[in-house]
Amino acid sequence: MSVYKAPLRDMRFVLNEVFEVSRLWAQLPGLAEVIDEETAAAILEEAGNICTDIIAPLLRSGDEQGCTWNDGEVSTPDGFPAAYRAFAEGGWGGVGGDPEFGGMGMPKAISAQIEEMVNSANLSFGLYPMLTAGACLALKAHASQELKERYLPNMYAGTWTGSMCLTEAHAGTDLGLIRTKAEPQADGSYTIRGSKIFISGGEHDLSENIIHLVLAKLPGAPAGAKGISLFLVPKVLVNGDGSLGDRNALSCGSIEHKMGIKASATCVMNFDGATGWIVDAPNKGLAAMFTMMNYERLGVGIQGLAQGERSYQNAVEYARERIQSRAPTGPQESEKAADPIIVHPDVRRMLLTMKALNEGGRAFSSYVALQLDTAKYSEDETARARAQELVALLTPVAKAFLTDMGLETTLHGQMIFGGHGYIREWGQEQLVRDVRITQIYEGTNGIQSLDLAGRKIVGSGGALYRLFASEIRHFTANACADLGEFTQPLNAAVDTLDELTAWLLDRAQNTPNEIGAASVEYLHVFGYTAYAYMWARMAKAAMGKQAEDDFYASKMGTARFYFARVLPRIHSLSASVKAGSDSLYLLDAAQF
């Protein structure tokens, strides 16, 4: 496997030249004082260094060794505790945290780039700080001041980590079915009883305490999702002076043996009368959970992008060095026995597809992050509301499309390696195994697609869609004539998506199965169109600079490839959507 190199040049291009983030930051109170272009560059460079030098070298060894469970205690692979200490001591766990409690207060547009680098370096490692950041976000938004002051500083510092305890053996997506119970106590605390599964970072040896956020039901709570509350349940109880006290009544019953991310501890957590404290109000647990979901689901999408980036870096290095056969046009390196495989059309097709999807995904994830920043920091009520609506619309796309494309890019990378791609020591097969979970956790991609098509498109009567489509139309209407090679097919793609959206809105009125039948393909049409918008914006930023820098020449060439060879996928997907749901129900259950 090649040495991981953080794609800092492309990150700076996206932030500074495509989105001109310094302008936005200067207009947002809370950001203007803490971040500018120079500061951002320094932060990203230092993050790239720790990812390359400390975290990435543990990728294969962590996969080979995995986590181990012994009588309720979980050990991470060799090197992980030391790497985590270095990560925490550098302040990286609190990059996006509230400065009131020791965080750095950086915008999501910056933390998103750091998340990509950490997860490209080592997805298993990246899950520990990611879950902690999600728990911090929920606590910051919904916990009492007392709980914030007691827990957030150590969580931002990385001294304590966090987990989210949602899923139960019988209740995955349908959280209304959970059975974990919370009994109120006279001192204001609660006693928690129940079992949770698939808990990432539920137990490990990286931090001195783990702060679990647990969904449970109070006595007499309403049935279903309306009766869910959220509780803070520490592994080790915290004394009034902030010191650690007795071990809480919870334990790790086992860890899962998984296809990938083997260095991430995926735990069965048992709460046997554990002491916890309610976050927010009774029966408001789902609202508190969903506060962090937009951030977490974007984070999972970035994990897919990160694996695709690592796969591309490995594959392009291999393609430049591996010699096999001659180019169709004749020898390119006649002094060698054969040409490097990068000369072959199919290898170039795969590499360019990977490059186009990765760079389009980086721009798209950064775009969504910027909407999160606007929604959080803007004092303009109209701008804030618009950004919140865009986030609601685009979050399922970011989670599902980025991870679906992440699997595609890792598979392309494996294919470029040929037989070596199937062999463990070359690293590509691990990326394929690791990325697969990103399509499953934090809500499977089928559920994300249903959320987009059902709640966001049909549920809003198409209003959320029109908000995004009108932004694209505004961009193309105001673009210069030289950008026509990109804006014309982009407009055509939006026309296709307009038509498909209208079809879905119409059919959903009378055919209950239509939304579910159309949702995955619809999301993909949406995703490819959104990437086309990103590529048109990147082409605009790069146009006219090709002669001065190969970076811009590469950007323009990849943009042209995307519009010529990737965007046309929307036509077959649209045909699948319009085929309707009838064919899905031609078989009885017994006929499968």
- The answer to whether 100 and 41 have CB atoms below 8 angstroms apart is no
- The answer to whether 189 and 274 have CB atoms below 8 angstroms apart is no
Please calculate the CA angle 321-326-329 and round it to the nearest 5 degrees. 120
d(CA 202, CA 161): 9
> Would you put residue 423 in left (φ > 0), alpha (ψ -120 to 50) or beta?
beta
d(CA 476, CA 464): 19
- The number of beta carbons lying within 10 Å of the beta carbon of residue 470 is 11
- The number of beta carbons lying within 10 Å of the beta carbon of residue 590 is 5
d(CA 188, CA 498): 53
Note if 442 is an active site residue. yes
d(CA 58, CA 51): 10
d(CA 278, CA 287): 13
- The answer to whether 471 and 534 have CB atoms below 8 angstroms apart is no
Spell 249-276 as b/e; 16+ CB within 10 A means b: bbbbeebbebebbbbbbbbbbbbeebbb
CA trace torsion 28, 29, 31, 33 (10° rounding)? 130
Which residues pair with residue 160 across a beta bridge? Answer: 209
Which residues pair with residue 215 across a beta bridge? Answer: 230
Q: Both tokens of residue 585?
A: 């129900």
d(CA 96, CA 110): 8
CA-based nearest residue to 211, from 41, 93, 340, 87: 93
State the catalytic residue, choosing from 168, 296, 442, 521.
Answer: 442
CA-based nearest residue to 396, from 453, 434, 435, 356: 453
User: Which DSSP helix (H) or strand (E) runs through 373?
Assistant: helix 345-377
Q: What is the DSSP string of 189-204?
A: -EEEEEEEEEEETSS-
Q: Both tokens of residue 388?
A: 């919140």
In 90-211, where does DSSP find H-type helix?
108-121, 123-142, 145-157
- The answer to whether 75 and 68 have CB atoms below 8 angstroms apart is yes
- The number of beta carbons lying within 10 Å of the beta carbon of residue 55 is 28
- The answer to whether 323 and 336 have CB atoms below 8 angstroms apart is yes
State the catalytic residues.
442
